[in-house]
Amino acid sequence: MIRYTQGKESARGYYEDAHDYTAFKERLLKPLGPNGNLQYETISHNLKTDIPVHNEPLMAQPNMVLIVDGTFLLKKDVAHLFDYKIFVDTDFEIARKRGAKRETEAFGSYEEAEKMFLSRYHAACKMYIDEHNPKECADVVFRNSDLANPELIFQERM
């Protein structure tokens, strides 16, 4: 399995193998970016079969806007392809609890989901933050720890 070559519980494996950034850039971001041909693909990997796929290219209109959300999107080799970048910043403890609650059914119990968040997902996120400092390149940081009092921090650019 491509996505799990380093193991299903490997933080390094999740960080390095969960997404095909080359396909993401070449099939979506560059075609929709400056000087792109506007022909883009929305799928590059079948999660159920864990096999790379190609789908029929779609044609964008020049006035369309692409909004992308996902993990590790502000890696240095990808971030420059976005016009405007928002980083959602949530305290790790709070994110772990939210994630474990959301994924309880998928992992069979809250405890198993929490264990996976600690050992795989959050460990991978810490690698990402340490390597790429996504808050620094974001145009806006959205503080999402307190759902009743979210905070937007707009970065000043020189």
- Does 1 reside within a domain? no
Amino acid at 148: A
- Does 37 reside within a domain? no
Nearest CA to 17 among 43, 42, 41, 52?
52
Residues 152 and 94: their CA atoms lie apart, in Å, by: 18
In this prediction, residue 5 carries a pLDDT of 80
- Does 107 reside within a domain? yes
- What are the phi and psi torsion angles at 88 (to 5°)? -90, 115
Give me the number of domains the chain comprises: 1
| Full domain range(s) for residue 82 | 71-158
In this prediction, residue 63 carries a pLDDT of 94
- Does 45 reside within a domain? no
Q: What is the dihedral of CA 25, 30, 32, 34, to 10 degrees?
A: 150
In this prediction, residue 38 carries a pLDDT of 98
Query: Please, what are the averages of pLDDT over each run of 10 residues along the chain (158 residues)?
Result: 76 90 96 97 88 93 95 96 97 96 97 96 96 97 97 88
Residues 140 and 3: their CA atoms lie apart, in Å, by: 30
Nearest CA to 154 among 62, 69, 85, 104?
85
Residues 90 and 84: their CA atoms lie apart, in Å, by: 20
In this prediction, residue 8 carries a pLDDT of 80
Residues 79 and 73: beta-carbon distance below 8 Å? yes
- Does 77 reside within a domain? yes
DSSP letter at 56?
P
- Does the reported pTM lie above 0.85? yes
Distance set, CA 88 to CA 9, 40, 51, 123 (Å): 24, 26, 29, 17
- Does 58 reside within a domain? no
- Does 32 reside within a domain? no
